[in-house]
Amino acid sequence: MLDAVKNLALGTALIGGLLAGSAGTPANAQDDKSINIGWTAWSDAEAVTKMAAKILEERLGYDVELTLADVAIQYSGVASGDIDLMMMAWLPQTHQDYMEKFAGEVIDLGPLYTGARLGWAIPNYIPKDQLSSIEDLQKEEVAEKLGNRIVGIDPGAGLMRLSNEAVEEYGLDDYQLVSSSGAGMTAELDRAVQRDEWVVVTAWNPHWMFSAYELRYLEDPKGVLAGVEHIDALARKGFYNDHPEAAAFLARMYIPLEELETVMFKAQETSYEEAVAEYIETHEERVNYWVTGEIGE
């Protein structure tokens, strides 16, 4: 069921628990209409995952369980077969290390959306002549206004790996890259904006915060924080043979970036469930194509 979300603590113990038991056995072995989807508590991941789950349940008759877990655990789970799907593979650069590690053990079903990007963002009220590039963070007066802090997200996220590389590459040894969560990062951003304070956050598009606040990315002249990315759905080996309808649906599922950001922004005002339901209702022809492969006249 959509509400049956399994909350998993992160860490070594969870990895062992998630991967133990039916090693090598498909997650759907006992029920061929049951699918387990891993997801991360990021706004875009929640939107596309809950949209796919709702369509799988209501249009294709599946019983969907959502497993909340760190990205690294999702890759391990899909590779081992303990998780059927994940909807958040940032490629080609952000999750490059995961894809190399699990090459041949996960199946890429194709992009869910394209044109995504990563970076460090700041509020627009911070003067451009004082802070416009990551290189400007080396200035003593800039570091002081920022409290020598860069607000990050989940420590296992690809964005955090690249951010650590950026800290080293740009010589920002005096800064602390603070691990948090997607929600923690946006909460700290909101507090700073309400007080007109300086703040740098690890950011990505699509994200509702770019609709809620006036933000800009810092220039990244060394190109450390990746370029344009596509976000793909990954499946365990054998998923297509076990669930050909579901696999075909996911291979056809594609959302324009601007429309996904609208869903995410509406979800902040209502809920992801309501925003997803509204999108499905107002894009009937597109959703029908995802499900059936038939193009409406």
State the pLDDT confidence band at 297, using cuts at 50, 70 and 90: low
Cα separations in angstroms, 25 against 19, 91, 247: 10, 27, 18
Task: Over range 231-257, report the average pLDDT.
Answer: 97
The pair phi, psi for residue 229, each rounded to 5°, is -125, 160
Query: Higher pLDDT residue, 145 or 12?
Result: 145
Which residues, including other chains, have CB under 8 Å from residue 222's CB and lie 6 or more apart?
134, 166, 169, 170
d(CA 129, CA 111): 38
pLDDT of 103 above 60: yes
pLDDT confidence of 212, banded at 50, 70, 90? confident
Distance of CA 220 to the CA centre of its chain: 21
Q: Which residues are paired to 219 by β-bridges?
A: 133
| pLDDT, tens only, 127-143 | 999 999 999 999 999 99
Domains and CATH numbers, the chain: 5-115+228-292 (3.40.190.10), 118-217 (3.40.190.100)
What per-residue confidence (pLDDT) applies to 156? 80
Asked whether the beta carbons of 118 and 203 are under 8 A apart, the reply is: yes
Asked whether the predicted pLDDT for residue 88 surpasses 60, the reply is yes
Could you give the CA distance from residue 234 to residue 239 in angstroms, rounded to a whole number? 10
Confidence (pLDDT) at 295: 86
CB of 163 closer than 8 Å to CB of 202? yes
> Rounded to an integer, what distance in angstroms lies between the CA atom of residue 209 and that of residue 67?
25
Global model pTM greater than 0.85: no
Average pLDDT (145-154) is: 96
Beta-carbon-side half-sphere exposure of residue 283 (alpha carbons within 13 Å): 20
Closest by alpha carbon to 201, among 188, 211, 214?
Answer: 188
| Mean of the per-residue pLDDT values of the chain | 88
